[in-house]
Chains A and B, each alone.
Chain A
Amino acid sequence: MKPDVARIHIQTVHTFSQSHTWRAMDEFPRPWLDAAAGKMADWLSASAGSINRWYCGLFWASDLDSIAADRAFELSRRDDEGRFVSPSAFRSTLPSIDPAALALQLGITGPVMTFSIDADPIMAEQSARRWLLAGRLTAAIVIDEFAAKLEMPGTEDRHPISELTRTIRCQLMVSAPSDSSDSATRC
């Protein structure tokens, strides 16, 4: 099979950053993420309104996974009486739960893939390309979530109120029909 990479269009790219505190990352619900998801949902709904959600996938890559939720859940796992206090907190410890929440908001019923990344920021995009080229998809929403690790607190104390900048980049990738003569915006 010879993939036809020229038939993939990146229609829209949107990037925004959000600053919040390390402590805020531990809170449930996580308002900073809800706010970010809300922004993305609004934007994606406007951009992708005409796309068949059955042929659309969501590809999410993050360099933090669910680490804040992990730590918060670990600290709250049992209360003084040995009970398990927070089912919703446990749910949030899955790296794939934030993409799932976004897919739920957007009504995406194609594949929802979650990648843990370090140095390779295009892992989700590469996967989306594969699904567009050889899978069933005609559209893919790609979201990369980066935190500036050097700005993370933690050299002496893990709980300071200091700022973390999280950058979220969204892309909408569309596979053009085979009879399309349009040129790709980027391949």
Chain B
Amino acid sequence: MSTQAQAFTSRLGRPSQTVVIRGLGIWTPRYRSAAEIFTTMATPKSEITPSYAAASNPDAPDGAELWPDALAAISHGVKGWDIDLSDCPLVFASAKGDIRRTLRTLDQPGGAIPNLADDARRVALLCGFSTPVICLSTACVSSLAALCEAQLILATQPDTPRVAVITADLASNFVMDGFRSLRATAADLCRPFDACRAGLAVGTGAAWAFLERSRAKTNSMEIIGWGMGNDATHLTAPDPMGGGLRSAIEQALAVAGIPAADIDVLFAHGTGTPFNDAMEARVFAKLFPHRPPLTAAKGLLGHSLGASGLLELALAAEILQHRLIPPIFGLRTTDYPGLNPVCSQALRPDRPIRTILKTASGFGGVNAAVIVRGPAR
């Protein structure tokens, strides 16, 4: 642990509360549950295809058309848990929100200037929230940043029993063209951590969850650590040394009060771009010399930008439940000897799976890390 992280541990002390995740749900155009995705990922590769549109097809339907479906799924999912929303703040997280609606609203004569907060209010209204809505847009770490914010709300507002986090980002033509302009997209398959990776695939997804303070042992997944760090090196490219990500992970470990050796699984951001994967690989190899199994989901699901963090955390819950780590779809041969990526077949490690580290990184140099723990058995 670095000197800074040690100082942080000393400053913060041990965690004073346990926060559990309830009502965790996801939506993608193809999959309606994390269990369904998990099962698919654990299936032999020849039987499945990725769920995103290839970037080489510029005439693919505009993913923004699926916003009504996403909103309906979010509303149904949140209401389905029958949780009292009257005293539950909502943190809505998205990198771009419903950008097509935003631009259309802007072009209507006399219309108000739209923004992401409008999307957040729309979601809150649909789901039945009457509480304050916080709208976060921190690029591709948005939903993990929202989890950090929710943790802090629970830590500083003792009268607030729970906080909702909702996230959504869709593969709109706007976003697809943007990543094409950056030449950051793979022509066909996204291959995280593969020696021949050629870029990301833009995906679509939404997720929702409730964070609750808990003093009793439960069967729910706990968030035991969280942290955020900024590279401050470049606006779009990650810090090659991974300074921000390393800082975020070290904070998360310090909050959790556990050594790096206690991490059982690394659930990477894994965009499949040369720079991101190289940066993550460097940080993971440095901080986790015990080489815990590494997995990632964007090879199958694509990159749903700000929503990807929470969506993939739902898969982490499946890993904890099934004690099985799905392989990285699209990965054939890695060029990172310091990593232990799960390739080809799902892995059931000898060591019990209790803790998973989920990370995310985004434009602007933002990074976030969340550590979750499953119930003891």
Please list the residues of chain A having a beta carbon within 8 angstroms of any beta carbon in chain B: 1-3, 53-54, 58, 62-65, 67, 70-71, 73-74, 77-78, 82, 84-87, 89-91, 93-97, 99-101, 103-104, 106-118, 120, 123, 127, 129-131, 133-136, 147, 149, 152, 154-156, 158
Please list the residues of chain B having a beta carbon within 8 angstroms of any beta carbon in chain A: 4, 8, 11-12, 16-17, 58, 95-96, 99, 102-103, 106-107, 109-118, 120-121, 132, 134-139, 145, 148-149, 152-153, 155-156, 158, 173-174, 177-183, 227-236, 243-244, 247, 251, 254, 362-366
| A84 touching B177, Cβ below 8 Å | yes
Q: A118-B117, A127-B149, A152-B113 are in contact. Are A136 and B155 (CB under 8 A)?
A: no
22 residue pairs bridging A and B, Cβ less than 8 Å apart: A3-B155, A67-B114, A70-B99, A86-B181, A87-B182, A94-B95, A96-B138, A100-B139, A103-B364, A106-B232, A111-B148, A112-B138, A112-B228, A114-B137, A117-B135, A118-B118, A130-B153, A130-B156, A133-B152, A133-B155, A149-B113, A155-B110
| B138 touching A114, Cβ below 8 Å | yes
| A67 touching B102, Cβ below 8 Å | yes
Q: How far is the CA of A104 from the CA of B103 in the complex (A)?
A: 29
Q: Which listed residue (B103, B135, B149) contacts A74, Cβ 8 A?
A: B103
Chain B contacts for A90, CB-based, 8 A? 177-179, 181-182
Q: A67-B106, A96-B137, A109-B247 are in contact. Are A120 and B11 (CB under 8 A)?
A: no
Q: For residue A175, which residue of chain B has the nearest CB?
A: B11
Listed from nearest, the 7 A-B pairs whose CB atoms lie closest are: A100-B364, A90-B178, A84-B181, A116-B116, A134-B155, A111-B228, A130-B152
A-B contact count (CB 8 A): 194
Q: For residue B105, which residue of chain A has the nearest CB?
A: A67
| B232 touching A108, Cβ below 8 Å | yes
Chain A contacts for B145, CB-based, 8 A? 111, 113
Q: For residue A52, which residue of chain B has the nearest CB?
A: B4
Q: A96-B366, A131-B152 are in contact. Are A116 and B137 (CB under 8 A)?
A: yes
Chain A contacts for B4, CB-based, 8 A? 54
Q: For residue A74, which residue of chain B has the nearest CB?
A: B103
Query: Separation in Å of the A56 CB from the closest CB of chain B?
Result: 10
| A104 touching B138, Cβ below 8 Å | no
Query: Separation in Å of the A117 CB from the closest CB of chain B?
Result: 6
Q: For residue B231, which residue of chain A has the nearest CB?
A: A109
Chain A contacts for B113, CB-based, 8 A? 63-64, 67, 147, 149, 152, 154
Q: How far is the CA of A134 from the CA of B15 in the complex (A)?
A: 10
Chain A contacts for B137, CB-based, 8 A? 65, 94-96, 114-116
Q: How far is the CA of A113 from the CA of B145 in the complex (A)?
A: 8
Q: Which listed residue (B16, B96, B227, B231) contacts A93, Cβ 8 A?
A: B96
Chain A contacts for B178, CB-based, 8 A? 73, 84, 90, 93
Chain A contacts for B234, CB-based, 8 A? 104
Q: For residue B184, which residue of chain A has the nearest CB?
A: A87
Q: How far is the CA of A107 from the CA of B231 in the complex (A)?
A: 9
| B366 touching A1, Cβ below 8 Å | no
Q: How far is the CA of A32 from the CA of B4 in the complex (A)?
A: 37
Q: For residue B139, which residue of chain A has the nearest CB?
A: A96
Query: Separation in Å of the B146 CB from the closest CB of chain A?
Result: 10
